[in-house]
Chains A and B, each alone.
Chain A
Amino acid sequence: MILFCQSLVNGLLLGGIYAACSAGFALAFGVMGVVNLSHGDFVMLGAFITYWLFVLAGMDPFLTLPFTLLFLFIIGFFMQKLAINRLVGSPPIMSYLLTFGLHLVIANLALRTWTADFRTVQTSYSGLTIIFAGLVLPYSRLATFALAMIVIGGLYLLLYRTETGRAIRATAQDREMAQLMGIKIFKIYTLTFALAAAITGLAGSLISSTFVIHPQMGLPFTITAFCVVVLGGMGYVPGTLWGGIILGVVESLATTYLTAGISLSLTFFLLLLMLIFRPGGILGKGIVE
């Protein structure tokens, strides 16, 4: 019983992290219909920024967050302005290929610069745990989870409580109508993508103290984001929280009771079933074509 509860809690903590890593993907898809295959590389870049600031400047991983946010915002801004904005209105396959090309460039440039070494961020509190009712809660995972929740909450508030958020949602619902209402849609697109990149990079910074960092870590996160977003409902940003938690719990339980490798194929099987039987996501609020 304690084993079951422990893996459930592990799954929840993992799920929160997954949700934070995938919210940006949901945002870009929901607003622009862009399936961003270079999404995971933002996670990788965020993790590396934290790693280098930690190693070279001796900064605490949590203090590096503003730098990551700013840097990834700039990267996302230029990627959208120079490349992805040109594809608005063309068949979706063009955006898959463009973003995959960007993934190849980013991931392999990172591999050239930083080599394929596995790196970790070891802080003074890395191994500390809290024991609560017999359950082991690693301190850094708990803090990461809490911050991930704050990131998602902040994004939700931005989208649903501010004027800019309203403009973003209007553009997502009907591009032409939003344009007629005086919204500069290319500006909104650029802002949205930069925002998506920034929060994804932030999630990357957050996981740097619990995950292994290397240049090829991006693609698996893109795939995770696929699953999370489909589970939560494509394009429905708050749904990523549900999607992430379901995925985290399923993976954690499968790792405990089956093997670690098979949990991945279980994830994909879940994704496939979801797409076939409930394409609107677990809450049914996603966009269904």
Chain B
Amino acid sequence: MIGSRPRLEGILFFLLTLGVILLILPFIGLEGYRLRFFSLIFMWVALAGCWNLMSGYTGHIDFGPVAYFGVGSYCTALLMIKGGFPFFLSVFLSGVVCAALSLAIGLSTLRLQGAYFAIATFAAAEALKQIFLEGDRVIGMEFFGGAHGLTLPPPLPGIFFYYIMLFFMALVVGLTAVIQRSKFGYGLRAIREAEQAAELSGVPTLRIKVYAYILSSSLIGCIGGVEAYWLTYIIPDDVFNVMRTIQMVIMTLLGGMGTILGPVIGASFLTLISEFLGARFVYDYLIFVGMVIVVVILLMPQGIMGALGKKKRRVSV
């Protein structure tokens, strides 16, 4: 920990420079497909960063972050279509709804450990998906749109979403950097290393886990809302797709869990790879992704584990 201060400053300097470059890129010729592609990378960095904030720092593997992505998407869509709310207010309210929902789910599930927490969050996400998929048939009226989903008002130009996604990415990365150095961040890492010892030394473990969960979930909800307006068309099978969860997890793992730069590197790398493979091998793309996951985990588990690797060594001594 002694060496972490100057290194953190170096990282922040690098990120700030990168941020400034990204801010002016659209003025010097970034447009069309590339602009969209950059926005996509920003979105995934932000999403992976949110997952990292909760699971990377506490070591509690959340397998259902997509629940908040989906709920955020639907909230924004419903507020804009049925309520006529402006976009920014809808996104903000989606964040609030997700915060409330994650408080309820987090308080009950965060008492669970290991595989139990992972399965419980996974179940929560699937249950919510089914509710949005079948809710209409139960209440007997058209509201969520069922499997056909919802169509939002026509969107603004791509540059608008470029800046919003950039903002969310900067926000998530910035928050991670702030939390890393705060008492809150040390508490989260203490939970990862030894939860009972942390509890005994006076860390209110359940409370700060719930805080981290709410923070991560509400941000994911906001990003889901932005994506809904960006794509203008949402269906439960897409916004609640378990692949989104897996992507967040793998991106963070690739870059390194519990680090500031991990999600940035992992998400950029994986988005690039999938865009490349997806364009070239439309039908075999998922086979390749599966193989990449298997190979990475089998051949370089230490390399990608980052913080988790340290924990493992300490236990085995």
A91–B113 CA distance with the chains assembled, in angstroms: 13
Q: Given A265-B131, A269-B127, A276-B112 in contact, is the A90-B301 Cβ separation under 8 Å? A: yes
- Stretch binding the partner chain, chosen from B72-80, B115-123, B166-174: B115-123
CB distance from B94 to the nearest CB of A (A): 21
B253 touches A (CB below 8 Å) = yes
Q: Given A83-B298, A105-B294 in contact, is the A268-B286 Cβ separation under 8 Å? A: no
B61 touches A (CB below 8 Å) = yes
A112 touching B119, Cβ below 8 Å: no
A279–B137 CA distance with the chains assembled, in angstroms: 32
Which listed residue (A93, A94, A112) contacts B287, Cβ 8 A?
A112
Residues from 255 to 300 in B contacting A, C-beta threshold 8 Å:
283-284, 286-287, 289-294, 297-298
Which listed residue (B111, B287, B305) contacts A276, Cβ 8 A?
B111
A265 touching B137, Cβ below 8 Å: no
A268 touching B124, Cβ below 8 Å: yes
CB distance from A287 to the nearest CB of B (A): 10
CB distance from B161 to the nearest CB of A (A): 29
Interface residue count for B (Cβ, 8 Å)?
48
B290 touching A86, Cβ below 8 Å: no
A234–B120 CA distance with the chains assembled, in angstroms: 13
Residues from 78 to 103 in A contacting B, C-beta threshold 8 Å:
83, 86-87, 89-94, 96-98, 100-103
A35 touches B (CB below 8 Å) = yes
B134 touching A102, Cβ below 8 Å: no
Which listed residue (A29, A93, A268, A275) contacts B126, Cβ 8 A?
A268
- Stretch binding the partner chain, chosen from A8-16, A45-53, A145-153, A254-262: A254-262
Q: Would you list 15 pairs from A and B whose C-beta atoms are within 8 A, ordered by A residue?
A: A83-B294, A83-B298, A91-B311, A94-B305, A98-B298, A101-B289, A105-B291, A108-B287, A108-B290, A227-B123, A264-B127, A265-B128, A271-B119, A271-B120, A276-B109
New A-B contacts (11) at CB < 8 Å, excluding given A91-B305, A108-B286, A276-B112: A83-B294, A92-B118, A93-B308, A96-B61, A97-B297, A262-B138, A264-B134, A271-B119, A275-B116, A276-B108, A289-B114
